[in-house]
Structure 1
Amino acid sequence: MLFGRYSLISRKNVDSGLDRSAYLLLSVLRVEGPMSIGQLSDSLGLDVSTLNRQTAAMLRAGVAERIPDPDGGIARKFRVTEAGIARLDAERAQSIHHLDAILADWSEQDITALATGLARFNASIENYRHRVRSRG
């Protein structure tokens, strides 16, 4: 709980103006490339109506745009704008700054162990989500 609470508090001090949902969606779009609402829903396990509200807010803020499907599909896709990339980068830099301060007295070995554990934890979450979705 402390990790999640600290993440939210530290975000309030960043000038990017991104809320938690925009940060998550922009991060996914930046890594995965343009995605439709359906693809975002599948990827994040979020309800389409929730994503419609969140993407509408991102469009109004100018951090994302709708584009025709680059692969020729019918559904329009969302892509991060240059302004969105700049705001995402600013927020990420601030997060890294905070992490550096928190881990300043940790050994390299402890940091590596934390990173390894978090990677394993994330993989376990993804595997769990996949198993749950497969059950229907």
Structure 2
Amino acid sequence: MPARREKGVPDNAIPVIAYQTLLLGRHRHGPALRPGGGAALERSAVILLSRIQVQGPMSIRRLSEAFGLDASTVNRQANSMIRAGLLVRMPDPDAGMARLLRLTPEGARRLAEERAANARSLGRVLAAWTPEDTAVFAEFLTRFNQDIEALSGRPWPDPAAAPRT
């Protein structure tokens, strides 16, 4: 039985998109493209730190739900970032003995550096693109991510709504 064809999706587009997203997932926009390299945060650290920065302090349980990961995996990643001085545990005012994870000033600084390096690297990749092509790519990439989030039931919070620390 042939796979169900979605409305408006050409049969030959899905394998190309699947392959290209595979390739996209293997690229690091940061250190490999940075002149002189430079120490970069691990991809998992950037994602976890970004989520906490956008949403505010979070528990291991809430982070594991947000990412669809086992709590032990998130805890292991968080402990590594605590040892590196990027996160700190703080009491959860609403949950007694529970703890929340919060970015340290060093964590916020390193995350900002990583984002700036990634943006510079992407700027190098897209340097020959027209402003129109870049804008359309940004629009489609945003839509693609939002559609994935809608299907998974785990939307990423809007950075414009990030709590001010």
- Give the TM-score normalised by structure 2: 0.72
How far did residue 106 of structure 1 move? 0.8
Give the AA of the match of 1:27.
S
**Structure-to-structure mapping, 1:9-24, within 5 angstroms:** 10-11=30-31, 13-16=37-40, 18-24=41-47
- Counterparts of 1:39 and 1:11 in 2: how far apart (Å)? 30
**Structure-to-structure mapping, 1:65-84, within 5 angstroms:** 65-69=88-92, 71-74=93-96, 75-84=98-107
1:33 corresponds to 2:56: yes
Larger proportion of helix: 1
* 8 A Cα contact 1:14 1:94, kept in partner: no
Give the AA of the match of 1:97.
R
Partner of 1:61: 84
Partner of 1:85: 108
How far did residue 3 of structure 1 move? 2.2
- Counterparts of 1:22 and 1:6 in 2: how far apart (Å)? 16
Partner of 1:6: 27
Q: Go from structure 1 to structure 2 and tell me whether the alpha carbon gap of 1:45 and 1:11 turns closer, same or farther (over 3 Å shift).
A: farther
- Counterparts of 1:11 and 1:81 in 2: how far apart (Å)? 23
How far did residue 121 of structure 1 move? 0.7
* 8 A Cα contact 1:63 1:83, kept in partner: yes
Mark the runs of 5 or more structure 2 residues left unpaired by the alignment: 1-21, 155-165
Larger radius of gyration: 2
- Counterparts of 2:38 and 2:69 in 1: how far apart (Å)? 26
Identity of aligned residues (%): 44
Q: Go from structure 1 to structure 2 and tell me whether the alpha carbon gap of 1:11 and 1:47 turns closer, same or farther (over 3 Å shift).
A: farther
Aligned residues: 128
Name segments (4+ residues, structure 1) moved above 4 Å: none
The one-character-per-residue Cα deviations of 1:37-85 (angstroms, maximum 9, x if unpaired) are: 111011111110101110110110000000112x522321000100001
How far did residue 5 of structure 1 move? 2.2
- SS of 1:7's equivalent in the other structure is coil
Aligned-CA RMSD value: 1.7
1:96 corresponds to 2:116: no
